[in-house]
Amino acid sequence: MADIYLRGGWVITVDPERRVIRDGAVAVEDGRIVAVGKRVELDRDYHGKSDVEIDTSRQIIMPGLINTHVHLAQGLLRGCADYLPLIPWLRDRVWPLQGNYREEEALVSAKLVVLEMIKSGTTAFLETGLVGRYGPDKIIEMIHSSGIRAAVARHVMDMTGYALEENILHEGLVELGDKSYKDTLRLYNKYHGWDNRIWVWFGPRTPGAVSVELYRRMSEKARELGTGITMHLAEVKADVEYTMTKFGKKPVEFADWVGLTGPNVVLVHVVWVTDEEIDILARTHTTVSHNPCSNMKLASGAARISDMLRRGVNVALGTDGGPSNNDYDLVREMKHAALLQPLRTLDAKAIRAEEVIEMATIRGAKALMIDNMVGSIEVGKRADIITIDYWKPHLKPMNNPISHLVYAAMGSDVRNVIVDGKIIMRDRRVLTLDEEKILEDADKAAASLYERAGICVEPDTIWKII
Ligand SMILES: [Zn+2]
């Protein structure tokens, strides 16, 4: 007897032995995984005796994916900021759009992104930085009601620059002084730990927008509260110039100096770093969130992920946002992560598909400090599980589910999504969100946002639209 019985198919467990079970099965009860093994053995206890039995004989069963770098407010910015490198991309397109949000539009953007993530197999994510004008309370409540798990960081700042560029943050995003820090604490007190699915983190802006004092204050507070902290670091060369010029330190040395290293810290991108900096990250158990699509599209550089893995850094995976990726599909991101390292190193063995799957699951769980709870299919863990339909031409012949998952699958192959033992997508239908309404609202909210910002009103194309 179980609440849910997933019967048949390949089970990629990512458990400590990294077992992969051919013709396996998984049983879930009271939100937990109660059995994992061969179908013939589990059938005795669960077949025909469970509340919900799903025939997964043509599917892969695996832990839910964990996206460690998401911008919920960038969902409506998809297609609005192509062909630009990071700083002009932020200054001229992304920030003016985000700085013009009204709360109802930001909520639509967040819903759209959560919907896309659920439909592509993400069961937990790390939002990098909500601000006051987006209406963080309503967004957090929507995340909770969608059934997904999330660590939600709120942006903290007391300056308006980016690296050596001063005063370039859009006025609509400026929150000076104590305000952003105190509002993070308010959200923490209100929502942190909600149903063991929502956590509130600090999300300091990138160096150039936060004083050393404020970095130190929030990193100490995060440690005291036992919560996390996430920040973009060393994404482009300008980030290295800034910390070297102002402080005589390389980016990771700077982060370490202000308290932004440790097992509760997720540093994002970390492209321009030396061996010594990689060793600091490994020694301090700091997570690096790798976002290969964003790094390629914004011409930021190729992060040294295979070197980081060899030197013992916890590397996880993220998609970044609508104007930098331009999707939130972590299955597709796995492919890019797997392709970028051979390209960078000219070594076909630079990274293995197994390592990439770990980055998208158990290493992501570690980044969010929830690896005791989720990130693998193991008896006793909470049931965050997805199934992937492989009865499709691009996933045949089914001779190697690990290879297919990384090199051939897409988010749209995800068929069922279970979070905390609850089915939130069944046969590709999301049960917790109104998909049709979100798609309609997205176009309407985007049109009013573009109009107000005076950006993206017409498509950026060199072809003629008639
Ligand atoms: Zn980002």
Mean pLDDT of 405-427: 98
Distance from Cα 413 to the centre of ligand 1, integer Å: 26
Q: What sign for the dihedral angle of Cα 3, 4, 5, 11?
A: negative
Confidence check: pLDDT of 158 > 90: yes
Top-level CATH class of 73-367? alpha beta
User: What is the 126 CA–ligand 1 centroid distance (Å)?
Assistant: 11
Q: How many CB atoms lie within 10 A of CB 222?
A: 23
Q: How far is the CA of 88 from the centre of ligand 1 (A)?
A: 15
* Ligand 1 mean position, distance from CA 232 (Å): 6
| Distance between CA atoms of residues 198 and 76, nearest Å | 23
Q: Is residue 373 pLDDT above 90, yes or no? A: yes
| pLDDT, tens only, 338-356 | 999 999 999 999 999 999 9
Beta strands 10-12; 24-29: pairing state: unpaired
3-state SS track over 153-206? EEEECCCCCECCECCCCCHHHCCCCCHHHHHHHHHHHHHCCECCCEEEEEEECC
Q: What is the pLDDT of residue 368?
A: 98
Residue 23 pLDDT greater than 90, yes or no? yes
Q: Is 148 helix (H, G, I), strand (E, B) or coil?
A: coil
- Going from N- to C-terminal start, the domains of the chain cover 4-63+378-428, 73-367
Distance 84 CA to ligand 1 centre (A): 15
CA 402–ligand 1 middle distance (angstroms): 28
The two structure tokens encoding residue 276: 């010594």
Burial of 167 (0-12, 13-18, 19+ CB in 10 A): exposed
List the alpha helices (DSSP H) in 298-352: 305-310, 330-345
> What's the 98 CA to ligand 1 centre distance in angstroms?
13
CB 5 within 8 A of CB 47: yes
Q: Is 463 exposed, middle or buried (0-12, 13-18, 19+ CB in 10 A)?
A: exposed
Q: Which residue has the tokens 């051919």?
A: 22
Which helix H or strand E contains 405, and what residues bound it? helix 401-407
Segment (H or E) for 389? strand 385-389
Average pLDDT, the chain: 98
3-state SS, residue 289: strand
Q: Are residues 127 and 184 in contact, defined by beta-carbon separation less than 8 angstroms?
A: no
CA angle 259, 260, 262 (to 5 degrees): 95
Number of neighbouring beta carbons within 10 Å of residue 351: 24
CA 370 to centroid of ligand 1, rounded, Å: 22
Q: State in Å: Cα 243 to ligand 1 middle.
A: 19
- The CA-based angle 250-254-258, given to 5 degrees, is 175
Q: Compute, in angstroms, the gap from residue 320 CA to the centroid of ligand 1.
A: 5
187, pLDDT greater than 90: yes
Distance 294 CA to ligand 1 centre (A): 8
For residues 234-262, average pLDDT = 98
Amino acid code (one letter) for 41:
E
- Find the 418 Cα to ligand 1 centroid distance in Å: 27
Query: Which value, to the nearest 10 degrees, does the dihedral of the CA atoms of residues 307, 313, 317, 321 take?
Result: -90
Q: Are 143 and 114 in contact (CB under 8 A)?
A: yes
Distance 71 CA to ligand 1 centre (A): 6
Give residue 10 CA to ligand 1 midpoint distance, Å. Answer: 34
Distance from C-alpha of 233 to C-alpha of 7, rounded to nearest angstrom: 43
Give me the CATH code for the 4-63+378-428 domain, please.
2.30.40.10
Confidence category of residue 285, pLDDT binned at 50, 70, 90: very high
* Distance, CA of 129 to CA of 112 (rounded, Å): 17
Q: How far is the CA of 383 from the centre of ligand 1 (A)?
A: 28
58 CA from centroid of ligand 1 (Å):
36
| C-alpha 267 – ligand 1 centre gap (Å) | 10
C-alpha 246/C-alpha 127 separation (Å) is 29
CA–CA gap between residue 80 and residue 70 (Å, rounded): 17
Give distance in angstroms: CA of 1 to centre of ligand 1.
44
What is the distance in A from the centroid of ligand 1 to the CA of 2? 40
Question: How far, in Å, from the CA of 24 to the mean position of ligand 1?
Answer: 38
Q: pLDDT at position 44, please?
A: 97
d(CA 18, CA 52): 27
Distance 345 CA to ligand 1 centre (A): 25
Q: How many Å lie between the centroid of ligand 1 and the Cα of residue 458?
A: 25
Asked if pLDDT for residue 1 goes beyond 90, the answer is no
- Cα(437) to centroid(ligand 1), Å: 27
Q: Which of 206, 205, 200 is nearest to 184 (CA)?
A: 200
What tokens were used for 310?
């060899």
Q: What angle do CA 324, 328, 329 make, to 5 degrees?
A: 125
Ligand 1: distance of its center to the CA of 234 in Å? 12
pLDDT at 176 over 90: no
Instruction: Give 153's strand partners.
Output: 201
Percentage above 70 pLDDT, the chain: 100
